Structure 1
């Protein structure tokens, strides 16, 4: 641990980075495992942007079919809800 940095504002899971919404929801290594599992079930490889806002703006994939497309649109919100609930 670096000097002068307290553990108060650290991610509960990785203890590596500051606890920000972007880190908690998409960049923490533990949460990234969830994302990878979820995305692989759709056959998608994703390069995550730096910000949650950008992820939501870019979350469109053409050609999934009507039913899969409806589920796909809900994926980030559902995962965010679960992660946020576990954090708090």
Structure 2
């Protein structure tokens, strides 16, 4: 299982062969008026299917809800091994 989000892009100056001067630009403001989405995803290695769940928050209740959805997809006799990659 892996999670992705929120993505925060930051601009930076590059280097090139052109003259070093500041172009007239408006600095980007990375405001997100509608918030961000978090994607929780799990890969079933047996069937090569990807299961995903998008949520507005990344709280323990969202993680448990996703685990319950995964548990319902498989028979109770099957063991599920969940590897949390860089997940706090």
TM-score by length of 1: 0.33
The structure where strand makes up a greater share of residues is 2
The structure where helix makes up a greater share of residues is 1
RCO comparison, higher one (Cα < 8 Å, 6+)? 2
TM-score by length of 2: 0.33
